[in-house]
């Protein structure tokens, strides 16, 4: 038996009653096998283990895990044997989904979680990302984005760990990754994959007990980071550290990417408490940047930030 099965059972049992951490009964091998035979596929082993040894549907991210009868949604059953075409971790997707070959159908996947509106968490059963979880929007508002977790059991155990640790906002769960601060910092500074560096940065958005050294470490990561999507995540992580982190955001006002500079300006205007005046150093940094800013949209962001800040 996979050791994660025992750990997940133990962690589920240790959650407080307020979590209502209830899963439906396990599925039998016959039930799982009949589903596989009907659709001409085999479920990823880790998901199969969860269904037959832990439970089926119920407690999980957002609105919980969906039952078998909702895995396909309105899609045709034949699509399960067609590969989901996207290769995980090649790059960090930015902006709306422009992959016209998907058209919201997402072949080769099961819908595991309905996150509300048109957001879904899918499990890839056919294709290069087999076994991985991927976040999609059925209307193309954002491009498919793979979870950092290697398989379903790792993904679900991370969910339990985040709940138990008291992460400040589980809305960001799908963008984050497992690990303590030392592991996350090492990933952010040294990992070759921008998808993993971004996930590490996003985890600091809600990390329940960051060290006093973290803002300085994030600033160092910002200066060394080549990928704009990762730099954006680092900016948000800095802002999440309160005024100590926001005081360091001025370093991004000269970033080569206009969207990154604009986000830095917006995040700099937040204060603790929210009604507090904008610190003089931040106001001065924004004012100094304004006459030298070449991009109209960024100048507008700086002007609005200065006008909005008390």
Please give the average per-residue pLDDT across 43-50, as a whole number.
98
The dihedral of CA 245, 249, 251, 256: what is its sign? positive
Question: In this predicted model, what pLDDT tens digit does every residue of 258-291 receive, in sequence order?
Answer: 999 999 999 999 887 877 888 999 999 999 999 9
Q: Flag whether the pTM goes above 0.75.
A: yes
Name 119's bridge partners.
Answer: 116, 137
Please state, in angstroms and rounded to a whole number, the distance separating the CA atoms of residues 178 and 162. Answer: 8
Is the predicted pLDDT of residue 83 greater than 60, yes or no? yes
Please give the average per-residue pLDDT across 95-109, as a whole number.
69
Residue 226: both structure tokens together: 């080549």
Short-list 266, 272, 273, CA closest to 308: 266
CA neighbours within 13 Å on the CB side: how many for 78?
0
pLDDT at 272: 78
Phi, psi of 120 (to 5 degrees): -140, 150
Please give the average per-residue pLDDT across 54-67, as a whole number.
96
Phi, psi of 73 (to 5 degrees): 60, -130
Short-list 109, 97, 188, CA closest to 145: 97
Please state, in angstroms and rounded to a whole number, the distance separating the CA atoms of residues 183 and 192. Answer: 14
Please give the average per-residue pLDDT across 188-209, as a whole number.
96
pLDDT at 270: 83
Question: C-alpha distances in angstroms, 140 versus 86, 88, 123, 270?
Answer: 15, 18, 18, 30
pLDDT at 98: 57
- The rounded radius of gyration (Å) of the Cα atoms in the chain is 22
């Amino acid at each position: 038996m996979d050791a994660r099965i025992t750990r997940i059972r133990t962690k589920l049992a240790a959650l407080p009653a307020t979590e209502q951490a209830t899963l439906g009964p396990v599925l039998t091998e016959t039930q799982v096998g009949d589903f596989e035979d009907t659709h001409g596929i085999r479920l990823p082993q880790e998901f199969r283990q969860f269904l037959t040894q832990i439970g089926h549907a119920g407690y999980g991210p957002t609105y919980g895990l969906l039952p078998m009868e909702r895995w396909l949604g309105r899609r045709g059953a034949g699509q399960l044997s067609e590969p989901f075409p996207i290769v995980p971790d090649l790059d960090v997707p930015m902006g709306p989904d422009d992959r016209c070959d998907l058209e919201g159908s997402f072949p080769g996947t099961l819908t595991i979680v309905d996150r509300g509106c048109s957001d879904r968490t899918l499990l890839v059963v056919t294709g290069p990302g087999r076994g991985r979880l991927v976040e999609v929007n059925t209307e193309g508002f954002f491009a498919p984005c793979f979870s950092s977790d290697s398989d379903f059991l790792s993904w679900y155990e991370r969910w339990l760990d985040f709940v138990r640790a008291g992460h400040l906002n589980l809305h960001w769960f799908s963008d984050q990754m497992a690990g303590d601060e030392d592991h996350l910092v090492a990933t952010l500074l040294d990992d070759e994959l921008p998808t993993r560096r971004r996930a590490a940065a996003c985890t600091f958005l809600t990390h329940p007990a960051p060290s006093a050294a973290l803002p300085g470490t994030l600033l160092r990561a910002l200066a060394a980071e080549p990928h704009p999507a990762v730099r954006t995540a680092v900016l948000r992580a800095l802002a999440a550290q309160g005024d100590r982190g926001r005081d360091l955001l001025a370093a991004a006002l000269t970033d080569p990417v206009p969207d990154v500079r604009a986000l830095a300006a917006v995040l700099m205007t937040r204060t603790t408490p929210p009604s507090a005046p904008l610190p003089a150093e931040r106001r001065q940094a924004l004012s100094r940047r304004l006459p030298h800013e070449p991009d109209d949209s960024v100048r507008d962001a700086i002007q609005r930030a200065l006008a909005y800040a008390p």
